[in-house]
Amino acid sequence: MSAPEGKVVFLLGAGRSGSTLLELILDSHSQIRGLGELNHLTWYASESESESPQVCSYCDGPCSFWNKSVDWRVVRRFYSRTGLFPGLRRSWYRRFSNPFHFFLRWSDEKILIDSSKNIRWISRHLSHAKVWGAVRPMVLFLTRDGRAVTNAVLRKHPQWDMATVARDWKARMLANKGLFESLPVERRLQLAYEDLVADPETAARRICDWLQVAYQPGMLDYWGHQHHMMAGNIWTRDRVRKFQDSSPLDSAEQGVMDRSGTAGVEPQVQGVGLQIVKDERWRTELSAENLQTFDQIAGDLNRAYLSR
């Protein structure tokens, strides 16, 4: 079997930086498939008792991709932690073959998105350079104001303190920066969340140019497309499902939507909360003390990533 051609884009960045929104937009392009946070594969391949576990966050029942196209026997070769000498087995398969070659064969698209954002996961896959063949691994570094990120973390975990969260954000961003800058310029792209939400079309066009595919206006209407991604932000994915469950549009229509024809669904989009808007709740939710703590720990690094 000949090796496939294509591109694999690893999303890099801190959690709560808008990666689920970005992947939904990219997954709405006819030549791009979002796979979701693939680092969860290790758990499903090891712990699930099902021969074909339900991992899709957007399908209620069996998924047309994950349960009908994907061969889970192959997935387990690369990621299962069970069985005889699982570590040696995984290392052997990764040394001589590439799991993304199989994902490209299982997919109709030639560009895949892995939104894991886990630097160890990404580094491990990039380290096996010889097995990539004609498939090009690329990294899209999504940044966001660290005050917004830490505020989102504290909102979910109010028992945590800003000093700990800020130090964690700083450490992750420094590690991400190191990996990102180690890659050839043509294989990396940095994008600010603030730029994505301020002008989604310009951001999407920039990514498409980098990936060498034509921009498609309908990709911004991500709520009108079918998605089959693993994990991701619960708030965002639940609203996509809520819209699609109540939408008069035929869910079987997977073609690219024409933005000129979406005016009728805009009230529904707004009602569910799917419109692309900037989230700056940190400005009112973070106390003066927390803002000062964050600035003392990570202010200099944060200012380097603020959208210009």
First-to-last C-alpha distance (Å) of the chain: 47
> For the chain, give me the number of helices (H) and strands (E)?
14, 5
Q: Which residue has the higher pLDDT, 222 or 276?
A: 222
- Rounded-to-5 percentages of helix, strand, coil across the chain: 55, 10, 35
pLDDT tens digits along 100-145 = 999 999 999 999 999 999 999 999 899 887 889 899 999 999 999 9
CATH of 6-305, one of 3.40.50.720, 3.40.50.300, 3.40.710.10, 1.10.10.10: 3.40.50.300
The model's pTM is 0.87
The residue that leads in pLDDT, 85 or 42, is: 42
Distance CA 296, CA 308 (A): 22
State yes or no: pLDDT of 264 exceeds 50. no
**Which of 291, 239, 297 lies closest to 268, judged by CA?**
239
Q: What is the spatial distance between Cα 260 and Cα 257, in angstroms, rounded to a whole number?
A: 9
Report residue 203 as tokens. 């951001």
User: What pLDDT is attached to residue 161?
Assistant: 97
Domain boundaries, given as residue ranges, for the chain? 6-305
Q: What is the pLDDT of residue 282?
A: 96
In the predicted model, what is the mean pLDDT of the chain? 86
Rounded to whole angstroms, the Cα distance separating 289 from 266 reads 40
Instruction: Report whether pLDDT(195) > 80.
Output: yes
